[in-house]
Amino acid sequence: MNRPQVKPDGASAATHRHHGPLQYGPKRADGNTGILEKWLLKKLLELMGSPPLRFVLWDGQEIGLSAEPPAARIVIRDRGALLKLVANPDMQFGEMYSTGRIEVEPSLVALLNALYRSRMRLAPGSLRETLLNWLNRPRSNCLLRARENIHHHYNIGNDFYRLWLDRQMVYTCAYFPTPAATLEQAQVAKLEHVCRKLQLVPGDHVVEAGCGWGALALHMARHYGVRVRAYNIATEQIAYARERARQEGLEERVEFVEGDYREITGTCDAFVSVGMLEHVGVAHYQTLGGVIDRCLKPNGRGLIHSIGVNRPSLLNPWIERRIFPGANPPSLGEMMAIFEPANFSVLDVENLRLHYAKTLDHWLQRFEVAVPRVTEMFGESFVLAWRLYLAGSLAAFTAGELQLFQVVFARAGDNDIPWTREFLYKPGQGDGNL
């Protein structure tokens, strides 16, 4: 793994840089570790469900709950970092890691896998969890705030995402027909899987809510002969998508609208949203359902693709603050607040969790190759933060902490629905697109 040089904001700088296994420096100005620090770190491990991890302090001491070889070591560079970590681990691990005051060996993925596995053994709803959740509650997603939150993540610049996404810039879970498929193949297969589930026919009008860089909208127009109105509030993405439509001569068939899902107008035969719901916020689901209810024709079909969770819970607060402000993946039960009030029938739910783990594995590998360029563009702290985000997401999908739900729905009285799901798995019109 290509480790960038990081300039931490603490006093303990150069002596702790390393390549390969970490070298622990001599005893430091922070002084020796006292009984209190050791007790706090052991308590922290217990609160996390006793994962097989060890803390390594600035003076080289190791603290763990067992003598077993650990799955990973967390190296804490100074006493201030230790205290912050103990006070709010979910938030401060990311803060300290991305500023170089905490390092990890042998890899973030090994550490995070161990952490997620032990966290899942914890009982939900404990006082500690409740308090932390309240402290770290997501930001609101009113119309104005939604734009700010989305700009934070998606307007970093298309050049950054181009470095490690697939050619078509699809920034959502891919669908790997087999685990050995390439990322390029798997993203096209995902677009096809979505189009098949929507049963598109030429001439259909499609509304897409949250269209990213436009790959799905363009694919639908190109291969299924439909007309698409695709909404997004990320300015740079919309500009990129419009340029692609122009280059492909599809601007008559695909209209990219800079607008929020609440600003959708008109009617459609199919409604699709891939990777937007995570940013909507549970409190707004009924509004979203109302928008779909207003647009969808009597025989219309819909698909919502979203990161989710097994039971209502909050995203890791560091990711929510630093990477995805306002993000909040729902449980399947919470998602029903979109469909139930509007009396939609859920026809099909597919959980593609392991496909997102594989997608993230590809992204992380490509990101690591691009690290020198990303460091030039945004600096070392940005690289550490994004590595943590990608590795943390990979670990969360691998451990089953996060899910990926594709939900297909139709109006309650519509009997023009597929008889079985077998057609999804037959060679069909879209295969030439793979």
* Residues in touch with its own copies (CB under 8 A): 117, 120, 124, 175-179, 310-312, 331-333, 336-337, 339-341, 343-351, 353-354, 398-401, 403, 405, 411-415, 417, 419-422, 424-426
Instruction: Please state, in angstroms and rounded to a whole number, the distance separating the CA atoms of residues 156 and 331.
Output: 29
Nearer to its own copies, 294 or 311 (CB): 311
CA angle 118, 110, 278 (to 5 degrees): 70
Q: What is the DSSP string of 13-70?
A: -GGG--SSS----S--TT----HHHHHHHHHHHHHTT--SEEEE-TTS-EEESSSSPP
Which of 386/405 has CB closer to its own copies?
405
Instruction: Supply the minimum distance, in Å, between the C-beta of residue 125 and its own copies.
Output: 9
Q: How far is the CB of 149 from its own copies (least distance, A)?
A: 27
Q: Cα(59)–Cα(25) distance, rounded to whole angstroms?
A: 7
| Euclidean distance between CA atoms 283 and 366, whole angstroms | 36
Nearest distance in Å: CB 433, its own copies = 18
Place of tokens 């100074």: 78
Closer to its own copies by CB, 19 or 421: give it: 421
Please state the closest distance from residue 396 (CB atom) to its own copies, in A. Answer: 11
What does the block give as tokens for 208? 């897409």
State which residue, 325 or 330, has the beta carbon closest to its own copies: 330
Which neighbouring-strand residues pair with 240? none
Q: Which is nearer to its own copies, 43 or 311 (CB)?
A: 311
119's CB contacts (< 8 A; 6+ apart) are 48, 49, 51, 401
Integer Cα distance of 334 and 283 in angstroms: 10
Closest to its own copies by CB, 310 vs 433, is 310
- Tokens 């404990």 correspond to what residue? 126
CB of 280 to its own copies, least distance (A): 17
User: Minimal distance in Å, beta carbon 117 to its own copies?
Assistant: 6
Residue 330 CB, nearest approach to its own copies (Å): 11
Query: Which residues face 62 on adjacent strands?
Result: 56
> Which of 99, 199 has the CB closer to its own copies?
199
Distance between CA 177 and CA 185 in Å, rounded?
9
Q: Return d(Cα 39, Cα 42) in angstroms, integer.
A: 5
